[in-house]
Chains A and B, each alone.
Chain A
Amino acid sequence: MNFSSDDALVRAAQKGDRSAFGHLYSRYSRMVHGILLSRVPHSEVDDLVQDVFLQALPRLAALREVSKFPGWLASIARNRANDFHRRSKPHDEFSERSANEEFDPPSFAPPPHSSTEAHAALDAILALPEAYRETLILRLVEGMTGPEIAQRTGLTHGSVRVNLHRGMQQLREILARRAPLAGGEL
């Protein structure tokens, strides 16, 4: 079977081909990791990446348009991050929120061995609006290019360009404000 295209992989995976699903995992786990990292603490991300793919597997057969797979998977990742916050908050507090309400960015605890500068940089990105921080993390942390981000997340090129441009502008401002306080470059 030719697995050169994502669509072929999705079709094969829908028929129960686990090898094809494994390929999709290889191709998309970085995107899922970036989406989650923009929303939940770093220490939780690796396990949640696995959760996202385990949630996607049984639902894949219901996906009608295989070309929508990237956006569909990104939505599962965003929902899984929301679910993570939902479960970690008291029930009463959550019951007053609407289903589509965005949650606060993660309160970031530095992972072991992370450098202070790296932590500060990530923290600054996490202070940005959600659309900017997701796109910037995919670009600056996961190393994806703008066209890759667009292809993987289902966003248009225009949206990604603007998110990167405006997000980077705001990030520069945050870093510039923080630098004098930190006494360093960041």
Chain B
Amino acid sequence: MTPNNPEKEMPMKDDYLWDGSGKPDPEVQRLESLLAEFSHTERPLTLPAETSPLSSKPPGLAVQFPWLPRLAAAAVILLASIIILFLPSIRVVLSPTGPSWDVANLEGAPQIGSESISANRSTAKLYVGQTLTTNSSSRVSLSEADLGQIQIDPNSRVRLLQSGPSHKRLQLEVGTIHAAIWAPPGEFVVDTPSAIAVDLGCAYTLHVTPDGSGTIRTILGWVGFHLNGRDSFIPAGAMCSTRPKVGPGTPYFEDVSESFREALHTFDQSEPGSDGASAALATVLSQSRAKDGLTLWHLLTRTSGAERVEVYERFAALVPPPQGVAREGILRLDSHMLDLYWNALDLGDISIWREWEQSTDAHPAPASKQLPAKKELLLKKNLAP
């Protein structure tokens, strides 16, 4: 794959190009930013129903038995005749099967696939692979015993992608959902066009606009927003937006000042290192309160060079670094120290997220790390159905 003799090359000095460490190269940073729009956005993998990795193709049966194709053709004709004769009863068998969620019609006539849930039919089932659509006058509620309840607002479109025992996945193409989740953290994931929302416990509102941008507001617990290695954690009382091909922006508490909010928005939208970004960052830093450590922690990984130093200094002044966290470690983005510093904010145990990253939903966090009695907490806050 490599021309000439790569193993005898002298080690290069451009460490930033190699692993993102060292002094950032402005041209590499600029290319990374420009090219992000072409990066991979994970789509669910659709596997064929009957294919088994262990199966092997049988050797040429048609060669050994020349009459086999004719027999097969006759069988097809016979099968077609049976289907025509017994179509009404077969239709029952062909109805969707497998895992499903309960759909309660709250208002209007929402659709599952091309079929309306009529006014006189208040409940239905949403099976894996099916799409549920609400128009401007309809609302529904989705529920699953082990998961929780999700209310779908008008003008929304969702698709149920997976509903396994420890892995439940919904796609929100457009519209708004209000989720109250009591499944263990990391088990429920919502795909949107611009980020994946991972429930870390346990109530939030997620909105996706027709252009694919998204906004999340967390009411209880915290939620992770993820796209292509870019993560944002949104605790209760905070919100975060996300853009297609770019991913999650920087989260902030909803009670920040308007100027803080605007400056953060400008920072997220500006070229890294540009004059606009620097001015916006200065506003954010000067107006930060101790609780805005949430925002500052995220900015550590979204700045570089002197700007990262400024962010750290302000962050450390507002939230003293916990034991085990050193200035130099944070400035070189030591992941262990960043995790320790996040936990010092007391907004959620980051090890839950790290486990989700490792297991990609398949294995819920250990019971000891689950939020205590999530369903009871939701009931107490009057958020559960």
Contact = CB atoms under 8 A, between A and B. Distances in A.
Given A15-B54, A143-B32, A3 B362 contact: yes
A158 B45 contact: no
B186 to A, nearest CB: 13
A171 B32 CA distance: 13
A156 B45 contact: no
Contacts of A13: 53
A34 B41 CA distance: 11
Interface string B32-56: 1011111111110111100111111
B35 A121 contact: yes
B17 A141 contact: no
Contacts of A69: none
Nearest to B166: A19
A100 interface: no
Interface residues of B, number: 48
Is the contact region of chain A dominated by helix, strand, or loop, or is it mixed?
Answer: helix
Contact of B40 (A3, A21, A29, A166): A29
A162 B32 CA distance: 19
Contact of B228 (A25, A143, A159, A171): A143
Given A21-B47, A50-B43, A118-B35, A165 B17 contact: yes
Given A19-B164, A30-B228, A143-B228, A37 B47 contact: no
B270 to A, nearest CB: 15
Interface in B321-361: 358-360
Interface of B: 1-4, 6-7, 9, 11-12, 14, 17-20, 27-28, 30-32, 34-43, 45-48, 51-56, 164, 167, 228-229, 358-360, 362-363
Report, nearest first, the 8 A-B pairs whose CB atoms are least far apart: A33-B40, A162-B6, A146-B18, A145-B19, A159-B2, A165-B12, A30-B40, A141-B35
Given A121-B34, A163-B6, 19 more contacts: A3-B358, A15-B53, A23-B362, A30-B42, A30-B228, A33-B39, A57-B51, A57-B53, A61-B53, A125-B35, A140-B32, A143-B39, A145-B20, A147-B19, A158-B9, A161-B11, A164-B12, A165-B14, A186-B34
